[in-house]
Amino acid sequence: MACRLISLLRFTLFATISAAPKIVAIYQPKFGCPTKCGELRDIPFPFGTSPECYLDSSFLITCNRTFSPPKPFLRKSTTIEVLNISLDGLMRVAVVVARNCYDESGARIKGKSKSPHLRLSKFPLSNIHNKFTAIGCATAAVIQGIGQQNFSTRKLYSTGCISQCGDLENVVDGSCSGIGCCQTSIPKGMRNSSFTVNPFGTNVPKFAPCSHAFVVEEKAFKFSSLDLKDLRGRMHVPVVLDYAVGEESCAEAQFNPRYACRAKNSECINSTNGPGYRCNCLAGFHGNPYLWDGCQDIDECETIKPCSGNCKNLPGTFRCYCSKGYVGDGKKDGTGCHPSNSLWIALGTSMSLLVLLIGSSWVYWMLLKRKLIRKREKFFEQNGGKILREKLSQQKGEVETTRIFTTEDLKKATNNYNKSTVIGRGGQGTVYKGLLPDNKEVAIKKSIISDEKQVEQFINEVVILSQINHDNVVKLLGCCLETPVPILVYEFITNGTLYDHISDERRGSALSWEMRLKIAAEAADAVAYLHSSTIKPIIHRDIKSTNILLDSNYTAKVADFGASRLIPLDKPHLSTRLEGTMGYIDPEYFQSNQLTEKSDVYSFGVVLAELLTGEEVTSTKRPVEDRNLAGYFVSWTNDDRLPRILDKRLSKDGKIEMLEKFAMLVKDCLSVKGEDRPTMKRVATELKSLSTIEKHPSKDTDASTGVSEGAHNQNVPSKTEKDAFVGSSGSSSTLGFESISDKQ
């Protein structure tokens, strides 16, 4: 009983294994198979150069490396050179031409005749792409071969044509109708074949001593009368072969373990020229259908661009569709896409809203622009624009007049007051570096405050300051009155302030004693000019080393009239609130608020002390009683200790006698009482004398004699000019004239 049970189990297991489906292996080439041989740049599978690389031996490509470059041949042939292989079942090869040549008597010339045999194995000649061709003037050509349409049926085929010509005049280039050239079709399935070419008759013309016969790719050959002599030296011609896999049809081959068309997205196609089949990628795919993953999707949306609307790529196909609001098939060769009725309604509504929005925006912009224009006109009138225009019109033709800038002019010059253009900030406002359309560099000062009650006085000062024509005073070029606070425009000075050069060790070393004398004399001359040579005396009220600028030639330029005051001609002083910089302020002015020209003399004396000592105006490094430079300087000069406080940088080039005379002048300027101080004109004269002596030491060295005050006459307007420039004689007003260089 047990033995029967065991036998039954064995039978059941055997039956199960027998009934299981067979696992079919798909043959694929090994990795790294060569795909090139000489000029044949692509050897696609199922072809290959070794057993691991081709499907079967009929697809062998022999790469003969005895040639340079190497040449590929079909299977083991040495005469059928492979030119090209395509994946649509076609192969181009080069085959030998059949030839017979004859002498004038009609006898065959030995060594010039050839009757080749084509042994193509399984790949037949393409009956669609090839023609059997004969060339000659007394030529009969025949092709014979074996044709096979299926595995079991083979037939012997024979066909040919005759070509003749009496003379060259009858030969037509490009025509193979029998005169000099004839052609005939190739039967289907023809594999192994041979060509023969023979003369008929003995009359062989001299211009066509040879007859030729060959199978050739139809589109690769065009007959010419020049071919009659020797086929223009051609020994081989291109021929197209149809290749297929095996001897079976698709229906039979799919059960074969080595069935070639099992790759994804491929299909099997029966051969139309002999037995066998070939593989092809499905529509919408491209690549090598003989490789497992060789057929890749074609992105029609990117390649053929078939859609007029939107395109979506799909595996093996694509889909055209229209955007929302449009209808149609979306195809270029179809109905395309056109707006639906609902879209027209939505579009009309949108356009109406857009027009309304644009119209409202335009109206708002126009109202805003008008408001801005009115605001600018208000500021212009409020800042005395009309008065300034009237006064400027009175001085046309006399000297260069002040220019009235618009806000757009100055915004453009400063790149809309960009932070990168800021060159100085102070109590009176911010200074920007600007560039005018004529490439002229200017300094543009935006004031922080404005006194609306002093508009007329402000305009008078603008007019008067614009007429200051002195080489050592920074020139006022113009102003802008379209802002709440007037903006002033000055010439731009490039080399920093006197303070920069005194306080900087490196820069200060460049200031010799002679240069310091020159700077002091020029600055004094400018201040003296303000006091006595302008239409109305101008007291600067904030003379200090940071308000004396230096150009590239170290020429002094007095700047920053933000705290300046005009002194009425009939008054020796002016009562005003205290303004200025600590350390430079006149102690008498500090006590009484009485501003006089001597207040500027005191401040200038402090600047001279800076030039002589190189010391800070106020310093915690000095003792408490000497923290103020003015007191420190006077104290040490009274005790004959001048050499001990001199700037060490002057010890090399400064004569002690000259330094002492300079120090005495400084001491006079720093007198506590204003009446004991010299006038600025006298200071300028003394400094000019010292400077002259320093330049020409051989001349009179008596610095005290100086130059008479009457000689100081540079750029003095005439009485007529003064009358033309004078407006009202009211009290002074503040003019915002900020330093045109970076502040410390």
Q: Return the SS3 of 316.
A: coil
In this structure, what token pair is assigned to residue 176? 């193979």
In this structure, what token pair is assigned to residue 80? 């059928």
CB atoms < 10 A from the CB of 473, how many?
A: 25
| Amino acid at site 128 | I
- Catalytic annotation on 438? no
Q: Which residues, 6+ apart, have CB-to-CB distance to 304 below 8 Å?
A: none
The DSSP line for 356-410 is HHHHHHHHHHHHHHHHHHHHHHHHHHHTTHHHHHHHHHHTTTTSPPPEE--HHHH
The DSSP line for 256-297 is STT-S--STTEEEEE-SSSS-EEEEEPTTEEE-TTSTT-EEE
* Cβ-based burial of 83 (10 A; exposed 0-12, middle 13-18, buried ≥19): middle
Q: Which of 653, 652, 608 is nearest to 634 (CA)?
A: 608
Cα distances (Å, whole numbers) of residue 74 to 38, 43, 102, 147, 673: 14, 12, 33, 19, 123
C-alpha R_g of the chain:
55
For the chain, give the number of residues: 744
Cα distances (Å, whole numbers) of residue 102 to 108, 194, 479, 733: 4, 21, 110, 126
Q: Are 82 and 93 in contact (CB under 8 A)?
A: yes
Q: Which of 634, 630, 598, 636 is nearest to 616 (CA)?
A: 630
Q: Are 503 and 527 in contact (CB under 8 A)?
A: no
Q: Which residues, 6+ apart, have CB-to-CB distance to 668 below 8 Å?
A: 605, 676, 677, 678
In this structure, what token pair is assigned to residue 391? 């006064």
Cα distances (Å, whole numbers) of residue 49 to 53, 259, 377: 6, 20, 93
Residue matched to tokens 């300051």:
465
Q: Return the SS3 of 344.
A: helix
Helices (H) and strands (E) in the chain, counts: 18, 33
φ, ψ at 310 (rounded to 5°): -90, 150
In the set 227, 500, 542, 586, the catalytic residue is 542
The set of long-range contacts for 51-58, using a CB threshold of 8 Å and a minimum separation of 24, is 53/29, 54/29, 55/27, 55/245, 55/258, 55/260, 55/290, 56/246, 56/258, 58/121, 58/122, 58/123
H/E element holding 311? Answer: strand 310-314
- Within 13 Å of residue 186, how many CA atoms lie on the same side as its CB? 32
Q: Return the SS3 of 548.
A: strand
Name the DSSP letter for residue 207: T
Distance from chain centroid for Cα 461: 51
Q: Tell me how far apart the alpha carbons of residues 509 and 504 are, in angstroms, rounded to a whole number.
A: 8
Residue matched to tokens 């044949």:
40
Active site residues: 542
